[in-house]
Structure 1
Amino acid sequence: MFYGPRPVPAPHRRGGSPRTLTLALVLTGLLLSGCGMTDNDGNDSPGGTADDSQEARTGLPDAGTATTDDAVAAVKKVSSEIYRFAGVPGKASEPGPGVKECAGKDPDTYFTVYHPWNFAPSKPEDLDVAMENLKKRLDTGDWVTKKLYHDNSPNKALNLIADNDAKKVSVWIVQYSKDAKPSLGINVTSGCYQVPEGETVDHF
């Protein structure tokens, strides 16, 4: 089950102090399964938290072996790809990815990477264009759109959930058209990585 996103304090940025910047989307418990990265009944409403998501997270697919740095770099690369997919000028929020444990696994050995950020087009009227571009691009190549629905929030925000099984990542995008500054809330989440033998997870 998904927990709907709303602005929350930004996650801790590696190598720096916690930021006060707010994001339109936070890690919210994307459920990933082996054959399809996501599963959702389409009836969830916004309001969950990162703590909720950790309790809900189950069934993360195996993402292979990687150091924390390499896995974070891979997720950042996917976020950059999604930024390009939007296809309109705009600004992305700054905080970088974070690392969480995989539920039910040794937290010193297994981890998942999440990257919540938001994208605000330079022109508010480009928000619809950006979402249409993403709808097209996230259903081509290795990307498969799993869900496209309006949530139960007062503004009935459009949600798009897509998986890339080749890269073992999932993205959840929420279109905040009615906000004072229209934006897209975006969260990229990886599968469950295992660190190389002799190393431990660098949590941040």
Structure 2
Amino acid sequence: MTEREDSSTPKPVGTRSVDDVDAETKQISSQILDIMAIKGTMSKSGPGVSTCEGAERGKLFLMRHPWSLTGASDDELSKVMVRLKEDLPKRGWKIVRYGRNNSKAKSLELMADHVVKKFAVKVEFWERDSGGDTNEPTLLVNVVSACYQVPDGEKVDRF
């Protein structure tokens, strides 16, 4: 293998079953919701399996859990963003970005990594009618695992 080929091959952080990573992804999403400590309507989506970028389908995988929360005011969701920024580090997360993004709406965005658990989270706050669109105040959350190798004898069969 050439050096160039080697550098483009994704590097899994370990070997885990899809079911184990799925369960941990759900647990982490639940913990983030607990930190938010707000009543609202959560979307019904569950975690989904993705192929790691540049990997052969079925060999390496990561788990994504995108979900949203609506039913609260701009002021309440703004306070949730501050709470996440303050409380995630107390639970092992490192805030890697907090501020307005470059979208038309200039949405407030938080990105954090959990080095030990090997997960990342991105939370985006869409204020009411932001960016010229009509929308309810919304938090968009995306929890993503690291890239894992499938254990010998197992297959990734849910995409």
- TM-score after normalising by structure 2: 0.83
Q: 1:200 aligns with which of 145, 155, 159?
A: 155
In structure 1, give the amino acid aligned to 2:55: K
CA drift at 1:104: 2.6
CA drift at 1:106: 2.9
SS of aligned partner of 1:82: helix
In structure 1, give the amino acid aligned to 2:88: L
| Partner Cα distance (2:10, 2:128) in 1 | 33
Aligned to 1:92: 42
Task: Report the more deviating stretch, 190-199 or 99-108.
Answer: 99-108
1:62–1:142 Cα change, 3 Å: farther
1:114–1:125 Cα change, 3 Å: same
Aligned to 1:48: none
Q: 1:101 aligns with which of 47, 51, 58?
A: 51
What do you get for the CA RMSD once the two structures are aligned? 1.9
Which structure 2 residues correspond to residues 1-204 of structure 1 after superposition, within 5 A? 62-179=12-129, 180-204=135-159
SS of aligned partner of 1:197: coil
CA drift at 1:93: 0.6
The number of equivalent residue pairs is: 147
Q: Is the 8 A contact 2:109 2:123 kept in 1?
A: yes
Q: Is the 8 A contact 1:148 1:160 kept in 2?
A: yes
SS of aligned partner of 2:28: helix
Identity %: 36
Rg: which structure is higher?
Answer: 2
| Partner Cα distance (1:106, 1:69) in 2 | 20
CA drift at 1:63: 3.8
